[in-house]
Amino acid sequence: MMGVAQSGFSLAEIAARLAGVLPLAVAGDATCRVTQAGALESAEPGQITFLANPKYRPYLKTTRASAVILTPAMVDELPSGMAALLTSNPYLCYAHVVAILNPSARKNPGVHPAATVEEGAIIPASCHVGAGAWVGAGAILGERVEIHANAMIGEKVEIGADSVIYPGVSIYPGCRIGARAIIHSGAVIGADGFGFAPEGGEGGWVKIAQTGSVVIGNDVEIGANTSIDRGAIADTVIGDGVKLDNQIQIGHNCVIGEHSVIAGCVGIAGSAKIGHHVALGGAAMILGHLVITPHTEISPGSMVMSSIQEPGKYTALYPLERHDSWLKNAALLRRLEQMAKRLGALERAQKTED
């Protein structure tokens, strides 16, 4: 086979690559090669899959995958002839394996002739600036930063090494982004916060100049069409490792703690302080000026109206019903106070009888 490059990676090669990352053992044939990752139910021969949730255990017997990632405790259930990577955290291991099998395609270094770079911007030779991208005066890019087509980088913006700014992202002047950021198309970083003083009565609103900025830590991912407003006076701050999904709104002066994950369509009103390792479900809403303690979990669609001091899972959701029964039950909701009074009256009457 001399001279013929083999595709994919053997389990031994994968284990070697992840040696310093997470503890790993190979069970079965360590020369088993995999070229892609797949789900238990749909993986094909030549692919590697994972089993994290015990309830999917039955699929282990029927999967067509060539190898599987699972915990050492489950090694006895391996079908004969199937190779495995053994680890205490199969899903985490899977994430690393998918990355090895699918190295992200980096753009070639260089500034596209159809890009515009204003005076005083600092762009290392290792960076990519795509067609139609605009880099404002005084912006500073770290090594290997990619600014994709038509992205807009305002004056004096700073972006850390290895960050990828996808097509059409807009970053307002003066915002600072850490290293290894991934910012998806349509995201807007640093637009003015929503601050106005009422003239009162039939008058209008006077804009309060938004003089703060946005400061984003390292290893942050920001989804498509998400908006993060600049601070009114102080900065809006996104901590290291925060992951933001699509269509999220983060108001001015918010602080999001490290490694918090925020699902799509979430809204966080101004000046809220979200602790580290908080998880906000999709379309959850946080009112302004609230403080959410670390390791809190908010269910999807839930509106948070007061600060949360104690970690745990919180929910605020009207349960789905057939429309007919909803019509009846929802109408009664407005009479709940009255029902409570009637209940109290009955209880008092009964007491009198006793």
Q: Which stretch binds a second copy (CB under 8 A): 11-19, 58-66, 139-147, 195-203?
A: 195-203
DSSP string, 239-303: -TT-EE-SS-EE-TT-EE-TT-EE-TT-EE-TT-EE-TT-EE-TT-EE-TT-EE-TTEEE-TTPE
Contacts of 117 (CB under 8 A, 6+ apart): 111, 123, 129, 135
Task: Read off the amino acid at residue 233.
Answer: I
Active-site annotation holds for 252? yes
Least distance from C-beta 10 to a second copy, angstroms?
A: 20
Q: Which stretch binds a second copy (CB under 8 A): 11-19, 55-63, 137-145, 346-354?
A: 346-354
Binding of a second copy by 54 (CB under 8 A): no
Secondary structure element (H or E) that encloses residue 346, with its range: helix 336-353
Binding of a second copy by 147 (CB under 8 A): no
Judged by CB under 8 A, the chain residues 283 through 302 that form the site for a second copy are: 283, 285, 287, 299-302
Judged by CB under 8 A, the chain residues 254 through 283 that form the site for a second copy are: 258-259, 261, 263-265, 267, 269, 276-277, 282-283
Q: What is the chain's Cα-based Rg?
A: 27
Question: Cα separation of 260 and 194, whole Å?
Answer: 24
List the x/- string, 68-107, binding to a second copy by CB under 8 A.
Answer: ---------------------x-xx-xxx-xx-xx-x---
Binding of a second copy by 217 (CB under 8 A): no
Which is catalytic among the residues 252, 259, 289, 323?
252
Question: Cα separation of 318 and 113, whole Å?
Answer: 55
Binding of a second copy by 108 (CB under 8 A): no
Q: Indicate which single residue of 4, 5, 61, 202 sits in contact with a second copy (rule: CB under 8 A).
A: 202
Nearest to 264 by CA among 350, 184, 348: 184
Binding of a second copy by 53 (CB under 8 A): no
Q: Indicate which single residue of 197, 235, 280, 291 sits in contact with a second copy (rule: CB under 8 A).
A: 197
Q: Would you say the C-alpha torsion 21, 25, 28, 30 has a positive or negative sign?
A: positive
